Amino acid sequence: MSAKLKWLLPIAGAALMALTSVAIAKDITLSFYYPIAVGGPIPKIIDGYVADFEKENPGITIKAIYAGTYQDTLVKALTAFKSGEPPDVAVLLSTDMFTLIDEDAIAPFDDLLKTDADKAWAKSFYPAFMANSQTGGKIWGIPFQRSTIVMYWNKDAFKAAGLDPDKAPDTWDELVANGKKLVQREASGNVSQWAIEIPSSGFPYWLFQGLTTANDVQLMNAAGTQTAFDKPGVTGALQFWVDLNKKDSIHPPGVIEWGTTPKDFFEKKTAMIWTTTGNLTNVRKNAPFPFGVAMLPAHQGRGSPTGGGNFYFFKKMSDDERAAAFKFVKWMTTPERAADWGIQTGYVAVRPDAWDTDAMKKYVADFPAAAVARDQLKYAVAELSTHDNQRVTKALNDGIQAALTGTKTPEQAMKDAQAEAVRILRSYQ
Amino acid sequence: MMHGPEPAALVSVAATPPPRLQFSAQIHGWLLLLPAAVLLVTFTHYPAVATIIDSFFSTPKGRRAAVFVGADNYQAMLGDPVFWRALGNNIVYAASVIPLTIALSLAMAIWVNGKIAGRPFLRLSFFTPTVLPMIAVANIWLFFYAPGYGLLDQMLGLFGIPAHNWLGSQSTALLCLIAVAVWKDAGFFMIFYLAALQQMSPQLAEAAAIEGAGRWYVFRRITFPLLMPTTLFVLINAIINSFRLIDHIVVMTQGGPDNTTALLLFYIYEVGFKFWDTAYAATLTVVLLALLAIVALGQFLILDRRIHYQ
């Protein structure tokens, strides 16, 4: 290159950069995978949010793709990732964090948090929800559609049993004592109404955590490399669950189907059920009797695991795309939107200030049960999540079901589950 | 074999020039085979071969690429109690579903082939389960089996039999799934038997009746042997279905309680797409492939000879 032209280079370079950055800022398209796990017109709500966001942020297009259940969405996102075309943003289970990290599929949010406002935003969520969203000192997920377990009770059944219809059992002892009054037996010995159902099909570990947390034990460490399934507190919690049927006869035998549990409640086959806050709207619409919503009963302590989905950023995004995706996630989690999302779906609004918005205040005043989940968050713990998560979880699920169906004692079941978990996790130590 | 050596065939043809006609007939033949061959290779043969190769490698994870591990995956499989459980379950499942489905479909076909009132309605009602998607069927049956207020318990309650947690106890869960599978498939196979029965000449039965043969004798010595080609077809399909259809498990039990209802393909799905252990899933798939191949070979080599085709 001749010396004469050399001075032109920086100018040309700058012009080119300006041009390309303008060009990129003009048309960023992000793909966004999301699952549906509760009833209601979720795609319509999401599409509405996306349209509003695009209107406020010209130049960014969000391709929102409904991808099925959580499991379907994970399968689609990971297979797309393995074939080299991952989605940019996805809502996936908070418990899939370690799986996604191990697959080297997602990027942490930390380097995006440059301004004080951004740092404050990252701290604005309930700590209970963040427990499943960070590991190794990094934030990998942003809470979006999150839930906890609560107890629903039939006020008519309580009244008929001579109990205070406005007060749910607050401890394990009260649960058993009240339960014995609530069970109704026919002359033949056939039970026409059980006191309580804790579902145990599919993902019993989640409901089991409602018992272990109350028994003041944690199932795993924060790094997701160790489990404690054979601790006495865990075995004791499982023994309590088994005894609800075997000893106290207030809980039906065997494994209880998750999907039909609300129906059992509506049909008055059981006076109390444990299920997700996500069922709140369903119960409100379909229960033919007055019902109450309560925190899970306490024992040594109190608490419930959290559940539900987080926003994740997949790798392979350019810096501009990441900036746009970050903008989108921040927009989706403002207090107003978190409140609106919670009201429309039954999920727990993910940040405390969402509950101070006018819309949410009005909703809670109308329907106080909605606030129970929020109040329980103080006591909430992270949902079971480890490396090779689904495999470790299955070991625990199998153990719980073996104990509930009576093929193993709780001690034996938890000892086996722990041995299997240790075997699976040995390569992560 | 069939689709591999296309260029080689052309070369050999060119080396010893045959009559023009034969050459173009060869090309013609290959061209006719090509679309089917391409589809088969892409979606059946290549995946099968790739699965066998993958089963000798480790699962790639993140930045760790797959490495050759020899028979490690197979060794791990032999020591995996869930695999043996799933295999055992699948054998029990197949051994119950297949004969029950065939017997029921044959009985239904003979019944609706006779001259009875409301025949079209009966045929329709037998066939309906086939038309419904398995996912929908499983969701309906989930409530049939619901303890206490489910259809099954309500019916048994009339006879004073107490409520039972059908899907939630280890002794009955697999039986419940077997019942759904039989109910779902029997109507479909009935159609084939019905078609075969209507092809059959009524003279045979009439001649036998004149000779004084009873109805059971006619069925055993005439009808059933003549239905053998249909039975073989139904048998193959029933076997394939018993290893292939797992939608109802996903909806109704997810393999529980404690793997009582885990079938082989369900376990493969779990390992492949929940645990993301693709290499081990490939290993399990090889077992399934081998199992089906053995069954198919047995059917074609042994049964085929004993069947009378018209």
Same domain, B12 and B110: no
A397 touches A384 (CB < 8 A):
no
Same domain, B109 and B152: yes
Cα(B196)–Cα(B232) distance, integer angstroms:
12
Same domain, B38 and B179: no
B96 HSE (CA, 13 A, CB side): 15
A394, A400, A412, A425, best to mutate vs chain B, most B CBs in 10 Å: A394
The b/e string for A281-315 (b: 16+ C-beta within 10 A; e otherwise) is: bbbeeebeeebbbbbbbbbeebbbbbbbbbbbbbe
Contact B61 A255 (CB under 8 A): no
Residue B211 domain-assigned (yes or no): yes
Question: Is A72 at the interface with chain B, CB within 8 A?
Answer: no
We report the CATH number of the domain holding residue B204 as 1.10.3720.10
How many folded domains does chain B comprise?
2
Of A105, A188, A201, the CB nearest to B256: A201
Q: What is the CA radius of gyration of chain B?
A: 25
Which range marks the domain in which residue B119 is found? 72-308
Same domain, B23 and B108: no
User: Residue B99: is its pLDDT beyond 80?
Assistant: yes
Neighboring chain B residues of A187 at a CB cutoff of 8 Å: none
The tens place of each residue's pLDDT in chain A, 429 residues long, gives 444 445 555 555 555 444 444 444 568 999 999 998 766 678 899 999 999 999 999 999 999 999 888 888 999 999 999 888 999 999 999 999 999 998 899 999 998 999 999 999 999 999 999 998 999 899 999 999 999 999 999 999 999 999 999 999 999 999 999 999 999 988 877 888 999 999 999 899 999 999 999 999 999 998 899 999 999 999 999 999 999 999 999 999 999 998 889 999 999 999 999 999 888 888 888 999 999 999 999 999 999 999 999 999 999 889 999 999 999 999 999 999 999 999 888 889 999 999 999 999 999 998 888 889 899 999 999 999 999 999 999 999 999 999 999 999 999 999 999 999 999 999 888
Cα(A346)–Cα(A282) distance, integer angstroms:
9
Q: Which of A165, A169, A186 is nearest to A177 (CA)?
A: A169
Write out the two tokens for B90. Answer: 């699948």
Same domain, B156 and B43: no
Say whether A153 sits in a helix, a strand or coil.
Answer: strand
Residue B138 CA, chain-centre distance (Å), reads 18
Same domain, B120 and B226: yes
Q: What is the pTM of this model?
A: 0.84
Residue B63 domain-assigned (yes or no): no
- Nearest CA distance, A72 vs chain B (angstrom): 9
Contact A260 B146 (CB under 8 A): yes
Tell me, what's the ipTM? 0.80
**Each residue of A115-153: pLDDT tens digit?**
999 999 999 999 999 998 999 899 999 999 999 999 999
Say whether A17 sits in a helix, a strand or coil.
Answer: helix
Same domain, B15 and B131: no
Residue of B nearest to A387 (CA): B275
**Each residue of A410-422: pLDDT tens digit?**
999 999 999 999 9
Residue B133 domain-assigned (yes or no): yes
Same domain, B32 and B135: no
Same domain, B211 and B143: yes
B contact residues 243-262, partner A, Cβ 8 Å cutoff: 253-254, 256-259
Same domain, B133 and B274: yes
Residue B60 domain-assigned (yes or no): no
Angle between helices B134-144 and B173-199 (to 10 degrees): 130
Question: Is A173 at the interface with chain B, CB within 8 A?
Answer: no
Residue B283 domain-assigned (yes or no): yes
Neighboring chain A residues of B162 at a CB cutoff of 8 Å: 188-190
Residue B299 domain-assigned (yes or no): yes
Residue B112 domain-assigned (yes or no): yes
Contact A405 B169 (CB under 8 A): yes
Same domain, B49 and B169: no
Neighboring chain B residues of A195 at a CB cutoff of 8 Å: none
Residue B252 domain-assigned (yes or no): yes
Same domain, B50 and B76: no
Question: Is B222 at the interface with chain A, CB within 8 A?
Answer: no
Neighboring chain A residues of B257 at a CB cutoff of 8 Å: 200-201, 254-255, 401-402, 404-405
Contact B63 A104 (CB under 8 A): yes
